Amino acid sequence: MGPVSSSGSAFLIIGASVAAAAGYVALNRLPNEDGNARSAERGTAADNTAPEQSSNERTGPPARRRKREVERLRVRVIRRYPHATDAFTQGLLFEQGKLLESTGLRAQSTLREVELASGNVLRRTAVPDNLFAEGLAQVGGDLIQLTWQDEQALVYDRATFQLKKRHRYEGEGWGLCYDGKDLVMSDGTDQLTFRDPDSFAVRRRVSVTLEGQPARDLNELECVRGRVYANIWQREDIVAIDPQTGIVRAVIDARGLLKPEQRHHTDVLNGIAYDPKTKHFFLTGKLWPTLFEVEFVPE
């Protein structure tokens, strides 16, 4: 993914939100990548090409091989909540009845605290310096917000939303979550980067694979109980990744959350948060009118 062109930047700056959303889509992805991702996810790679499998496992009993296959899940909607239709959602997390949300677009990016039940924005702060905000994670009393191509992570005080400091990094920033030890970051490729939560230094990287093929376009993330959940850009699929090996252990089909008549003026599904008390997930999308409380169940 090369840098955005100067004409593309101008378009993003002057465009209205929906037009800018379209520009973001057009500029941010090569057309064949989604096809690659799709073929990877629907790929027919034989089980024995999966890199995690030892020769014992390849030749092991059928029951054991089945256990190693990718689980196929779907979304069961539990509740629906209003979601601000000006929120070009790029990062989402849940904390004690409140959602914390990062919204994107150049010159429109925000950090928000949102009441779950009403969808009301309780607090919002404009992201500085015309940055394009992306993923969001909480580390202790801090919120860390990525930027798309600006190569800086903004660190805010969770209590006051005051900007405390910035970390620099190389490359694009898409999704972010914190697993209690590392910050996990996506950049729109099949790579996850694990970073020191204090210094933002790279600790390690892993390539994510689904049935032996690269799982590209990893976008918004959520770290949940030893898995990294990622929604796939321009898809309504979510993958559950083993962060040690990068192997996708489950694919969740999240299609059809919005009714066709609700799709007007909306962009892609983006935004995963998790409530450890209920073990429910929250899903929404860019400019979506609804946020969904869901659980993942077998297909």
Stretch 146-175: interaction string toward Ca ion, x if CB under 5 A? ------------------------------
From the list 4-12, 88-96, 208-216, 240-248, the region that binds Ca ion by CB under 5 A is: 88-96
| Smallest distance, Ca ion to C-beta of residue 186, A | 11
In sequence order, what DSSP letters do the residues of the chain get, joined into one string? -PPPPHHHHHHHHHS-HHHHHHHHHHHH--HHHHHHHHHHHT----GGG-TT--HHHHTS-HHHHHHHSPEEEEEEEEEEEE--TT--EEEEEEETTEEEEEE-STTT-EEEEEETTT--EEEEEEPGGG--EEEEEEETTEEEEEESSS-EEEEEETTT--EEEEEE-SS----EEE-SS-EEEE-SSSEEEEE-TTT--EEEEEE-EETTEE---EEEEEEETTEEEEEETTSSEEEEE-TTT-BEEEEEE-TTSS-GGG-TT---EEEEEEETTTTEEEEEETT-SEEEEEEEEE-
Q: What angle do CA 191, 270, 83 make, to 5 degrees?
A: 155
| Smallest distance, Ca ion to C-beta of residue 229, A | 8
Query: With binding defined as CB under 5 A, does residue 237 bind Ca ion?
Result: no
Nearer to Ca ion, 186 or 213 (CB): 186
How many residues bind to Ca ion according to rule CB under 5 A?
A: 4
From the list 55-63, 77-85, 216-224, 251-259, the region that binds Ca ion by CB under 5 A is: 216-224
Contact 122, 161 (CB under 8 A): no
Stretch 253-292: interaction string toward Ca ion, x if CB under 5 A? -------------------x--------------------
From the list 64-72, 93-101, 247-255, 259-267, the region that binds Ca ion by CB under 5 A is: 93-101
Nearer to Ca ion, 41 or 222 (CB): 222
| Smallest distance, Ca ion to C-beta of residue 220, A | 5
Nearer to Ca ion, 53 or 193 (CB): 193
| Smallest distance, Ca ion to C-beta of residue 136, A | 7
Nearer to Ca ion, 87 or 272 (CB): 272
Residue showing the smallest CB distance to Ca ion in the complex? 222
Bridge pairing between strands 191-195 and 183-186: antiparallel
From the list 32-40, 90-98, 204-212, 231-239, the region that binds Ca ion by CB under 5 A is: 90-98
The Cα 151–Cα 138 span in angstroms is: 19
| Smallest distance, Ca ion to C-beta of residue 174, A | 11
| Smallest distance, Ca ion to C-beta of residue 199, A | 22
Query: With binding defined as CB under 5 A, does residue 222 bind Ca ion?
Result: yes
| Smallest distance, Ca ion to C-beta of residue 176, A | 8
Interface residues with Ca ion (CB under 5 A) are: 92-93, 222, 272
